[in-house]
Amino acid sequence: MPVKFGLSALFRRRSAKLALAFLAPAVAISLVAFTARAWRDKNGFASRQDDVATQPNPIGGRWRSGLAFQPEADKLRRRLGRRFLAPGREVSVLVGALTLGSERYIAQITRRQDDDDERVIIALNGGPVGAWSGLNGALSDGAAATDSLRSLVERLALDSPDQFILAQLRGSAYYTVARMVRPSEAGDSDTYTGPLWNVVRVSEPPALTQNKPRSLWRLYYINTATGLIDKVISQEQGQTIVAEMSGWVPQNGEQIPTRISWTVNKQVVMEFSLTNVSLGPRQ
């Protein structure tokens, strides 16, 4: 049965507290609340882009050359724009509407490329709710995120074209499962004119024991005509999650999907609609 999501947020005078609850068919999971002040103190993160972008540690040429080891990832990184090819665009801030069930929030997703990892900070309605990195996994209030909050953070962080490129940094394995794939309903029709995909499986490192994501692999469907990702398939606790990316348009010289929709059993459970993106250097 499809999983239904519900989310509520409360912000008090001196802190931003958020309680998340995703409702399953028979179980309602309550998530921990936390404050923005505690988040900054424990993690050294801030929700503002300038705080993220001004940290030292410039990117070198060797790091960027290392992103060329996987042929499919190398092709996509060149297709996406300059943020993986030249300095000056290591920090991207995506702002848009996040819909969870019947609830709607203004979401800000800050993605920072470092020499050895990517770090992602997620804020809803101006308050930080979680973060992700390859080293620490999904975090909440300085500790490992749990339950539905963990799923939320991992989906926003990992169901991403950027992660298809940067998963190389933590030793993920890439395997081309199939080429020129068509949807199953098309069968062997000689008149089919729809999209075809190259399907690449990205698997987490087998030695990863701590902070590993719920889904240890993801299937990326790369459109053979556009060279861009159409969908990402993963699995959580026996359920197949399909993240469909659409509305690819140039944004400040970068190719970024303006809409990502997550479905379970063909029912939409989460959706992110991009309204603004900005990119800047990591200083």
Asked if the structure places residue 48 within a domain, the reply is yes
Please report, for the domain that includes residue 264, its CATH number.
Answer: 2.50.20
Asked if the structure places residue 271 within a domain, the reply is yes
pLDDT score, position 116: 85
Find out whether 53 and 91 touch, Cβ atoms under 8 Å. yes
pLDDT digits (tens, 9 = 90+) for 82-129: 999 888 999 999 999 999 988 999 999 999 998 888 999 999 999 999
pLDDT score, position 15: 34
- Looking at every residue in the chain, the average pLDDT score rounds to 80
Given pLDDT bands bounded at 50, 70 and 90, which one contains residue 24?
very low
pLDDT surpasses 60 at 5: no
Asked if the structure places residue 207 within a domain, the reply is yes
pLDDT score, position 48: 33
pLDDT score, position 226: 96
pLDDT score, position 126: 93
Find out whether 5 and 270 touch, Cβ atoms under 8 Å. yes
Quickly tell me which residue has 């705080």 as its tokens. Answer: 51
Asked if the structure places residue 87 within a domain, the reply is yes
pLDDT score, position 90: 93
Asked if the structure places residue 14 within a domain, the reply is yes
Higher pLDDT, 208 or 237: 237
Given pLDDT bands bounded at 50, 70 and 90, which one contains residue 153?
very high
Could you report how far apart the first and last alpha carbons of the chain are, in Å?
47
Asked if the structure places residue 1 within a domain, the reply is no
Domain count, the chain: 1
Residue 164, domain extent: 6-280
Find out whether 91 and 112 touch, Cβ atoms under 8 Å. yes
Average pLDDT over residues 175-187: 92
Range in 29-38, 87-96, 156-165, 239-248 the model is least confident about: 29-38
The helix (run of H) or strand (run of E) holding residue 256 is: strand 254-256
The contacts of residue 33 (CB under 8 Å, 6+ apart) are 10, 17, 18, 19
pLDDT score, position 187: 83
Residue 153: C-alpha distances to residues 137, 162, 228 (Å): 9, 15, 23
pLDDT surpasses 80 at 40: no
The most confident of the ranges 27-41, 196-210, 217-231 is 217-231
Give me the helices (H) in 128-208, please. 147-158, 161-166
Amino acid in position 138: A
Q: Quick one: how many helices (H) and strands (E) in the chain?
A: 6, 18
Average pLDDT over residues 195-219: 90
Amino acid in position 159: D
Find out whether 262 and 268 touch, Cβ atoms under 8 Å. yes
pLDDT score, position 61: 53
